[in-house]
Structure 1
Amino acid sequence: MSADKKEFFIIRIPDTGSLLEAVHVIASTGLTITRCHYNRSLDPDTAFFSVSGDEKACTDGTQALLDMGYLQTTIAYPKNIRFTIIVPEIPGTLHHILKILNQFQAEISLISFDNRGRYPDSLHVMLRVRNAVMIEELINEIRNTYSVEIDGYDCGDSCEDGSLYYVKYATRVRDILQNPEDPEDPHILNLLNQFSHLAQQLTEYGKEYQDALDHILQNGLHLKSTTGKNFCADVQKIFVTDTLTLYCFQLPGGGNIFVINTPDERIMVDTGYGIYHEDVLRMFEYYGLGGIDDFTRIILTHGDTDHCGAAGFFNAPVYTHEGTWKIIETNNRAWGASSQELVLEQVYTVMINLFAHMTPPSVCELFPPAGTEKYGDFPVLDSFSAGGFTFKILEGHGGHQHGLIYVLCQEAGLLFTSDTILNLKYLSPERSDYNNFAVYLVTTVNVDPDLVKSERKALTKLAITLDNRLREKNRRLLLCCGHGPVSVFNEKEMVPASRTELYRHVTGSS
């Protein structure tokens, strides 16, 4: 027996009875409805259904909904035809005209008549144009009895009809993705369905449905608006030793990029969002770090797209944990965690990966599984050399994300803490505001909020121990946080380890 297939339908609701009919059609084909959402106050035209069933049931259900005109296969704006009917002062005239409109199942957007107004013999009508041939037949039917003057067509993108909410929303998504051409793009329809599902889930956490959809758009708009001439980064360049220079690049949104520069190696730890790739290359060139062919290895600390989303652009071997690779493959940031089936996690991953132009590598070198060696409470997976120093790869516990790793060089005093230890206090207001998008949309950025607390405690304990050892040599441990500046401990808080400079593209450069 074959496994059930999952399908979704975006249903057009021309009247209240059609919702019942659509559900009846779905049920009669043997499909099971697993989700439905309809909010008449937001958009009386559109309902969302997720269903499951065998291949035949899905095919039959799709065709039946198409045959009845309920299934939306496009999210293009319908046009509105405006026309005026010259009506005589005969009782029953309005009733007769409405019967004709009902006969053709016309979607009335506006109807207006006032015999004491400026045009006492004129009935003004505006209809949605879903089927141009049907509208022509309807007009001809009315003309058999009354005089009709066509006032014109309104293109929907300038229409303020509130019932076009989802159409307008999808158009804004297209604008962000710079894909305005195809109104029947099934990818956009799928996104609209998933965004609706995310917003529906967030209402269970006390969020407003429409507010949740707006937050999704704001996330994408922020990323798009901080590229090109608006791109900037806070940069730290730290001469760790004579043979090792550390760069930290805080991008406009998302996680940091680190570059370890030595005479024999140029290593990138995390890559930032893919949408910033062209800007990052210009920035790397400015700091003398080369381009896509000039890195000897890339290390991904975990599978969130703000840390791994540009790895596929570079011609360098990429190293990561098997769990991170699974997260990339499944497009689900909660893979491997108890929350991996949560819709919030799944849809958030799809959304942010899309807006951020997630570009993963085609292949990855996976760190070996944990053996018996440990450093503090963390298993040692692997090691490599650069600049005469040994770097160890430590396996995290899975609090922020399954497969997360840390990079430690005790000799050089470097600990890359990924998203377990952050220095959010020194984020710019703009970066801090952007981080709140993720918190809003997934309610918590950690896939296991309880586990991340104990993991952070263990990592902090390890960092303090290492820092104390280095202090004996008049040196300090540099905490390379996933977000915020490279920092050092200062009593009970972390402070930036060095001056931060603002990078912007040179005006007029290509």
Structure 2
Amino acid sequence: MKRTYITQMPDKAGAFLRASRIIAEVGGNITRVSYNKAVDVHMLFIEVSADAEQLDTISERLNEIGCMMNDRAPGQTILVEFRLPNVTSAMLPVLELIDSFHFNITYISAQENDTDFLNIKIGLYIQDPGKTKEFLDSAANLCALKILNYDKSQKILDNTVFYLSFANQVSSTLRLGRDATDLLIADSNRIMQHLDERNEAPYKTFSYIGRFAEMLHSFEGSAFCAKVHRRSLANGFTLHMIEPPCGSNTYILEKNAHLLFIDCGFACFKAEMLEILHGLFPDFDAMEKSIVLTHPDIDHCGLLSLFERVYVSEDGRLNFAFENNSLPDFREQNKLHAPYCRISKLLTKYTPPDMDTLRLIERTREKEDAPVSPLGTLYFQGLTLDVFEGNGGHAKGEVVLVDEKNRLVYSGDIVVNIRGFSKEQAAFNALAPYLMTSVNLDSALATEERVYLQNKFSPKAYTYCCGHGALLEPAT
């Protein structure tokens, strides 16, 4: 098994040598090292492969030599603008005050502006946030000042404790515990390392992850601006569609007090979704309900705990078996996708479904050598749904449902309606392609799937119920 140690090393070369000796003595194997002075001059990430007992011993010994950062409080970083007379030594009283509080200066910028005053911006890392007010009160007696907001993707305000400040901000926003915060730091570093190899600016990584967390938080409660649609189908069926600001669409077929869901969105919006569902179906808790997953990405399967029957393909079942056994799922087996996927699970409070609830979509048709091939059939209250499986271009375990009676195609993410995104969906869906480098496991195969599916079921004749975005209706 592997574990990532997040270490604080004032002398990178010497400290890394000591840490390496400890790991070798215990019998561990270093599989990854990451250090980027432009981001954090002290933070060093060491990934080690060993058995559980060896990993625990390594933790203890690294802690003994003061390398582990686990017990260090994250503190906070603030940016203050001081308005000083443009005269000799005017800056000294401010610097002396900062020194008396033992704050670290992480950023400083000053320039003349053709007036009698000099505006100086100073970034401060404050280990004990409780001292912030006392410092600002004292500074206000020296000169006029103001606290500035700042964009971390544009200004490097803290290059000694950046990871801690970044993780503290995200953890505070989403109320994460200490263990979750450490995992967030480690996987954020992995994404940065991958993107750094592509010559991407490292701070853009943290800006995007920060936006991911902020957007999840911003849609909580009454701000969950989901669009809800209803359509009458043949033979007394009703189709309901819930289109959330982020996460997958949820489709619900209703007849005779029975419900069949197709996908169900992020786990973190369970309360918001339940409020909508109870509004649509007052007897929701007592109703018979099942769900079919178009694929096992977590933005499509966060609410599986609500269902006693979850229909999946064989690869979908295997994906959840990996997760239930604490093994990397199919996405996480891709090194470019793994860090983002783990962060997404962490921030959206995802848990894998109980394996006892899974129902395999049985193969009743001969597999074809095609990007999308027949798999089997599902029946719901007299309605026939033809099931096709994709070739894994977007995600392993993906299926498509076709309702020939009503000319509907439930395509999952093989076809998404990008032009039909709301402003919120467009902003949120722009994050994953950057942080994962691509939302597809194999973009060439994904393109083949989409083209083949739309040739087989023409958008001129079928309505596409896409994984994201509005319904894709035939042109009239």
TM-score by length of 1: 0.72
Match of 1:6 among 2, 25, 43: 2
Aligned counterparts of 1:171 and 1:21: Cα–Cα separation in 2? 28
Any conservation in 2 of the 1:257–1:269 contact (CA below 8 Å)?
Answer: yes
SS at match of 1:344: coil
1:71 equivalent to 2:68? Answer yes
Distance 1:408 1:125, change over 3 A: same
Shift of 1:220: 1.8
Tell me which residue corresponds to 2:314.
322
SS at match of 2:165: helix
Any conservation in 1 of the 2:4–2:48 contact (CA below 8 Å)?
Answer: yes
Bigger Cα Rg: 1
Aligned counterparts of 1:9 and 1:411: Cα–Cα separation in 2? 56
Distance 1:124 1:417, change over 3 A: closer
Q: Gaps (5+ residues) in structure 1? A: 80-113, 130-152, 469-475, 492-510
Shift of 1:306: 1.2
Amino acid corresponding to residue 223 of structure 1 in structure 2: L
Any conservation in 2 of the 1:398–1:448 contact (CA below 8 Å)?
Answer: yes
Amino acid corresponding to residue 183 of structure 2 in structure 1: N
Match of 1:307 among 300, 310, 315: 300
Distance 1:11 1:128, change over 3 A: farther
Aligned counterparts of 2:93 and 2:249: Cα–Cα separation in 1? 65
Structure 1 residues 47-446: aligned runs within 5 Å: 47-53=44-50, 57-77=54-74, 155-156=128-129, 162-179=159-176, 185-263=178-256, 265-288=258-281, 290-312=283-305, 314-331=306-323, 335-336=329-330, 341-363=333-355, 364-369=358-363, 371-372=365-366, 378-446=372-440
Tell me which residue corresponds to 2:146.
none
Distance 1:118 1:56, change over 3 A: closer
Shift of 1:327: 2.7
**Percent identity for Structure 1 against Structure 2:** 24
1:488 equivalent to 2:473? Answer yes
Mean alpha-carbon deviation: is it higher for 187-196 or for 405-414? 187-196
Shift of 1:444: 0.9
* 1:242-286 deviation digits (Å, cap 9, x = unpaired): 511111111010210001112263111101111111111111222
Any conservation in 2 of the 1:250–1:485 contact (CA below 8 Å)?
Answer: yes
Shift of 1:62: 2.8
SS at match of 2:299: helix
Any conservation in 2 of the 1:311–1:318 contact (CA below 8 Å)?
Answer: yes
Q: Gaps (5+ residues) in structure 2? A: 77-88, 105-125, 133-156
TM-score by length of 2: 0.77
Aligned counterparts of 2:406 and 2:158: Cα–Cα separation in 1? 63
SS at match of 2:300: helix
Any conservation in 2 of the 1:199–1:212 contact (CA below 8 Å)?
Answer: yes
* 1:281-330 deviation digits (Å, cap 9, x = unpaired): 11122223643442421111101111111111x14311111212333343
Amino acid corresponding to residue 35 of structure 1 in structure 2: R
Any conservation in 2 of the 1:310–1:360 contact (CA below 8 Å)?
Answer: no
Any conservation in 2 of the 1:243–1:387 contact (CA below 8 Å)?
Answer: no
Any conservation in 2 of the 1:416–1:480 contact (CA below 8 Å)?
Answer: yes
Distance 1:31 1:315, change over 3 A: closer
